[in-house]
Amino acid sequence: MVGSAIVRKLEAEGYDNLLLRTSKELDLRNQQAVNDFFAKEKPNYVFLAAAKVGGIAANNTYRAEFIYENLMIESNVIHAAYVNKVTKLLFLGSSCIYPKLAPQPLKEDSLLSGYLEPTNQPYAIAKIAGIELCDAYRAQYGCNFISAMPTNLYGPNDNYDLEKSHVLPALLRKFITAKKNNDPQVVLWGTGSPRREFLYVDDLADACLFLMEQYNEAGLVNIGIGNDLTIKDLAELVKKTTGYQGSIVWDTAKPDGTPRKLMDVGKLKQLGWEAKITLANGITKVYEQVKDFDWK
């Protein structure tokens, strides 16, 4: 989802010298394959958007895979970028790097100030390691490697697997399916009380290009929209957008996850960038793209 959005943005801005590989063509977990690619192609700029990602269920179930694969991807790519003298690299992390009970909205300096949310701790630790890798290579070798932490994302090419997806695509699939099947109710996890922020992925891509052009410092930059809503309100918004007429039932035996994850985007605003696509408009865009999907 993120990689394809960045490609769309670059192509729209007139870039035509893009080095693209699918995960089947280049396994970033394989150090030799990554080294060979960098040595042959010699990229000047790297957007490191590749990661193993998922929602609360996937993070908690595949804990070993989430920490191992993400550590391998970022270690291989960042080191190869250093060896091959890449001009600049942007590493993308996640808002889950912040402590579970960090003050809201989440400021960049809250990193490592407390305990992480247990369900996604392996993934978060891997992403924190990526930030530290960028800063360490900058400090020791002078590499212009920067880090950005997006809030929850949605948009074209999202993952709609109910076991592995994030909350917004999961809600879209559940309500679209329930509408098609005339189901009387949709069952959702938790209490609906946690608050979340959502950024349309094309806005993220715009921010990534902005940072690649404008930001050259250690540390990290939050990328978000600057406001949030409860999962319950999000579910009602998706229900309204899809036109589903049934009821919503909350399975409170299931976990809620982090109570709130709102990004403080003051640093990015000061640099000169703000999100443009509202949540309501973004969900409508996505619904029009996926409403006729045949999910089995």
Active centre residues (catalytic): 123
Please check if 75 is assigned to a binding site: no
154 near 169, Cβ under 8 Å?
Answer: yes
Q: CA 155, 208, 10, 69: dihedral to nearest 10 degrees? A: -70
Please indicate if the annotation marks 79 as binding a ligand: no
Is 158 annotated in a binding site? The answer is: no
| Residue 241 annotated as lining a ligand binding site | no
**Residue 151 known to bind ligand:** yes
The neighbouring-strand residues paired with 186 are: 248
The rounded Cα 8 to chain-centroid distance in angstroms is: 17
| 147 in a known ligand binding site | no
On whether 127 is known to bind a ligand per the annotation, the reply is: yes
- Residue 150 in marked binding region: yes
Quickly tell me which residue has 């109570």 as its tokens.
259
Structure tokens at 173: 């699939």
**16-19: long-range pairs with CB below 8 Å, 24+:** 19/43
DSSP 107: P
- Encoded amino acid at 262, one letter: L
**95 marked ligand binding residue:** yes
- Please tell me whether 256 is known to bind a ligand: yes
Q: What angle do CA 132, 137, 142 make, to 5 degrees?
A: 135
* Angstrom distances, CA of residue 55 to CA of 66, 131, 229: 11, 21, 18
- 16 known member of a binding site: no
Q: What DSSP element (H or E) covers 196? A: strand 195-196
Q: List residues forming the annotated binding site for NADP(+).
A: 92-95, 127, 150-153, 166
Q: List residues forming the annotated binding site.
A: 92-95, 127, 150-153, 166, 174, 189, 196, 256
Q: List residues forming the annotated binding site for substrate.
A: 174, 189, 196, 256
